[in-house]
Structures are given as C-alpha cells and as structure tokens.
Amino acid sequence: MRTSLTGHFRDQFPLTEQTVFFNCGAKSPLPLGAYRRLQQFYQENLIDAVLPRIQILEEHYLHLKTHLAQLIHAQPDEIAIIPNTSVGINIALNGIDLQPTDTVVLPKNDFPCNIYPWLEHARRHEFEIQFAGTFQHCTTDDILNAITPQTRVVSVSFVDYATGYCMDVARIGAECHRRNILFVVDGIQGIGVKELNVRAAQIDLLTCGGPKWLLTPFGIGFAYIRREAFSQIHPQFVGWLAYDWGDFTDFRSLDRQLRPDASRYEVGTLPHTAIAAFETILHDYFLPLGVPHIEAYLSDYTHELISLLESYGFRYAGPRAAHERSQILRVAAPGDTTAIYHQFRDHQVDISLRDGHLRFSPHFFNNGDDLDRLESVLTQLKF
C-alpha cells in the first residue's frame, strides 16, 4: 500500500471493495454513516409522524447550517439550504437587478450550469454576456481581463469540471470588491476538498450541490450569500417559510417580514431526510478530518496517480502550477481514448470521459490499494 489516509474512513465506502472509484467529479458514493442515518429517519417515520418531531428536524437543519458555515468560514445565518447548484445560480441571476447596459462575465469553457441560466436570462432582460477564455481553457487572468466598466456580475466555477483548473477566487474577489461588482462562485467541484474562506475571498454568493465531493444523496446542496449582499440579491421565488412566523401559531397575519438571514432564499418545505444525512456526513467525516488535511492528502495522492499513469504512456493534461491544480486530473490516453475508457470501465475502474480526455477524480477514501489495483489493470490494457 503506497498511500492511506485512514482505514476507518475507507471502511465507510463498501463500493471500494469491488470498484476502483476515481469518479467523484461525477457523483460520489454514499458513505455508510449517511445510509444508516437515512434508514433511521425512515424507520422513525414508520412509527411517528414528522410534525411531532419538528423540533428535532429544526435541530438537524440548524446543525447543518453551522457545519457548512464552519466548512467555508462563513456564519450560519449566511447559509441557505437548496436542492442543487443551479438553484443557487438562479438566486443570483433572478435576484440581481440587471439592466441592458450591464454585462456578466463568464468563463467560456464553464459547465452548462453556469452558462445556460445566464444566457436565458440575458435573452429576456437584454443584458450582455462577456465570455472569458476559450472553449478549451479559461484562467484567472482571462477573467480579470474581461472585466470592463459595464461589468455588473462575475460568475465562475471554483474548480473547472474538465481540466481541474482552480480559479484564484481571492484575486477575482478583490477586484470585484474594488469595482463594486457582484461575485458569484459555483463551488461544486471544490468545496470539501479545497480550502476556501468565502469571506476572505470576498464572494457574494457561492452555490454548491452536495452529491459530488460532499458525498450527499441527490437533491441537496447549499448557498452562501454574504450578509452585506442581501440588499442587492432579492428573493424572487419566495416560499412562506422565508417569513418570520414566530411560534407558528398565527397564520392570519398579512404583515410578516422576510427573515433577516439567508433562509429568506429557501423556497417551501426542505428535504429533511437529506438534511439529516448531510449533517451526519459533515459531522462524522469532513469536520473530523478537516478540509486542509483532505486537500493535502489528495495533493500527494494525485501526484502518485499521475506518476503511475505516466509510467504506462498516459499524459497529465491539466494545469501545472501548484496553486492552479486540484483533485481533478485531466489525462490524455496513449491510444483511442474512448476505447481505453471503456476498457477501464470493463475492469471496474470508474472514471469519466470529458472533452476527449480521461478524467480521474479521487477522494479521501481512495488509498494505495486502489493504485495497486489500477496498476494491475494498466498492464492488461490494449492500446
């Protein structure tokens, strides 16, 4: 065994017994702790209705917000629970009063989640989209160079889904703050495995789904909205729970006010089952390990993984500078990429095919056993 973080956490992912899983950039496996929490939740609902346990649900909800705030160095009242990353993007684009004279800067190579909602909104509201970089690559400098006096919003991904390039969000945030530009970040490919202080980076809104690096079930994520940005990002899709109902005994009032915290951006009843699982995942795995520890481990691990692949003729095709790299590896194959991808899959090596390259995306549960098993597969591949 070359590398290992801890055997205890490895045991929490039964999928690793049969599969070399390097595909958290697509969807992570569910850890046993979360699975058992889901079982417990549904078992409780077989014998007890939800409403008598509303206080318990509220405690899970508040604990989750506290854990998420700790994860990204925010305050719990700046966290909203949302279904997915796209909802967070829509909170931004619908909540910001964009005018025809305004422009929004986007990376040209970004994932559709951060492209198409803005394009559709621009068609209807006639503001301009300014793309930075190319379809192949976009750097921090490309984003900064695309900013003009007309720029109202900059929206980027923290980590690029295809290349693994990590934006210097602190540099972008500082420039946006200096020029009074709202800064939006899609964090789904980095939060949990790359350290990020949203306050220090001066991010106004960060949106992040949970099913990739945060190991959650489908249908849950979170948004961070900087408290000072509440006045510039107005809730457009409003649920009744976005208002302060006191002790929930009087629903006849017509003068309730929006909640003073980020729950104003939450629409309707929340997925409390997934909330219970998410809270367990953060409490049992991420907070004990710590994101800096996870990031350091994955930095070492991906170096080992690259060295192994390159010894068999593969080529790392991602960013080279240490501060631009992440746990997502873009790899060029030494032959027919699609055919080699299917050979990996046939040998129970779970990776992705993106933009003509192989994408390897390991997590903290990967260890030296996976590298040994991968090497065994590499000796059997036909190029």
- Can you spell out the DSSP letters for 265-308? G--SS--HHHHHHHHHHIIIIIHHH-HHHHHHHHHHHHHHHHHH
Same domain for 181 and 236, yes or no, is: yes
Domain finish residue from 254, 273, 288: 288
Chain segment 205-245, per-residue pLDDT in tens: 999 999 999 999 999 999 999 999 999 999 989 988 899 88
- Average pLDDT value for residue range 348-365: 97
pLDDT at 106: 98
Is the CB of residue 154 less than 8 Å from the CB of residue 161?
Answer: no
Assess if residue 149 is contained within a domain: yes
Reported confidence tier of residue 1, pLDDT bands at 50, 70, 90: very low
Q: Does the pLDDT at position 140 exceed 50?
A: yes
- Alpha carbon distances (Å) from 348 to 38, 211, 215, 343: 27, 21, 20, 9
140 Cβ neighbours under 8 A, 6+ residues apart: 167, 168, 171, 172
Q: Does the pLDDT at position 11 exceed 80?
A: yes
Q: Does the pLDDT at position 270 exceed 50?
A: yes
223: tokens are 């948004």
Reported confidence tier of residue 275, pLDDT bands at 50, 70, 90: very high
41 Cβ neighbours under 8 A, 6+ residues apart: 272, 273, 276, 277
Dihedral angle over CA of 11, 300, 165, 155, nearest 10: 60
Domain finish residue from 238, 262, 288: 288
Assess if residue 148 is contained within a domain: yes
In terms of Cα–Cα distance, which of 359, 320, 318 is closest to 337? 359
Same domain for 218 and 170, yes or no, is: yes
Domain finish residue from 288, 323, 344: 288
Same domain for 281 and 305, yes or no, is: no
Reported confidence tier of residue 54, pLDDT bands at 50, 70, 90: confident
Same domain for 283 and 322, yes or no, is: no
**199: DSSP letter:** T
Cα–Cα distance for residue pair 263/176, rounded to 1 Å: 25
Assess if residue 279 is contained within a domain: yes
Reported confidence tier of residue 268, pLDDT bands at 50, 70, 90: confident
Cα–Cα distance for residue pair 303/284, rounded to 1 Å: 27
Cα dihedral sign, 200-203-205-208: negative
Same domain for 99 and 234, yes or no, is: yes
Q: Specify the CATH number for the domain of residue 119.
A: 3.40.640.10
Assess if residue 342 is contained within a domain: yes
Same domain for 362 and 339, yes or no, is: yes
Q: What percentage of the chain has pLDDT greater than the value 70?
A: 97
Same domain for 199 and 144, yes or no, is: yes
Cα–Cα distance for residue pair 309/315, rounded to 1 Å: 7
SS3 368: helix
pLDDT at 4: 58
Assess if residue 261 is contained within a domain: yes
Reported confidence tier of residue 374, pLDDT bands at 50, 70, 90: very high
298: tokens are 């994955």
Same domain for 246 and 98, yes or no, is: yes
170: tokens are 């602190």
Range of the domain at 12: 7-22+291-378
Reported confidence tier of residue 50, pLDDT bands at 50, 70, 90: low
Assess if residue 31 is contained within a domain: no
Cα–Cα distance for residue pair 69/29, rounded to 1 Å: 23
Reported confidence tier of residue 52, pLDDT bands at 50, 70, 90: low
Name the pTM for this structure.
0.95
Q: At residue 180, what is the residue type?
A: N
In terms of Cα–Cα distance, which of 133, 129, 151, 135 is closest to 143? 133
- Exposed / middle / buried, residue 349 (Cβ in 10 Å: 0-12, 13-18, 19+): buried
Same domain for 267 and 224, yes or no, is: yes
Q: Specify the CATH number for the domain of residue 312.
A: 3.90.1150.10
pLDDT at 245: 83
234: tokens are 């107005």
Same domain for 213 and 342, yes or no, is: no
Same domain for 217 and 337, yes or no, is: no
pLDDT at 51: 59
Q: Does the pLDDT at position 2 exceed 60?
A: no
Chain segment 291-345, per-residue pLDDT in tens: 999 999 999 999 999 999 999 999 999 999 999 999 999 999 999 999 999 999 9
Q: At residue 230, what is the residue type?
A: F
Q: Which residue has the tokens 């020029």?
A: 179
Chain segment 145-185, per-residue pLDDT in tens: 999 999 999 999 999 999 999 999 999 999 999 999 999 99
Cα–Cα distance for residue pair 209/87, rounded to 1 Å: 9
Assess if residue 283 is contained within a domain: yes
Q: Report CA 135 to chain centroid distance, whole Å.
A: 21
> What number of H helices and E strands is found in the chain?
12, 13
- Can you spell out the DSSP letters for 34-78? HHHHHHHHHHHHHHS-SGGGHHHHHHHHHHHHHHHHHHHT--GGG
- Average pLDDT value for residue range 260-271: 93
pLDDT at 49: 65
Ramachandran assignment for 228, one of left (phi > 0), alpha (psi -120 to 50 degrees), beta (any other):
alpha
- Overall number of domains in the chain: 2
Same domain for 304 and 283, yes or no, is: no
Assess if residue 33 is contained within a domain: no
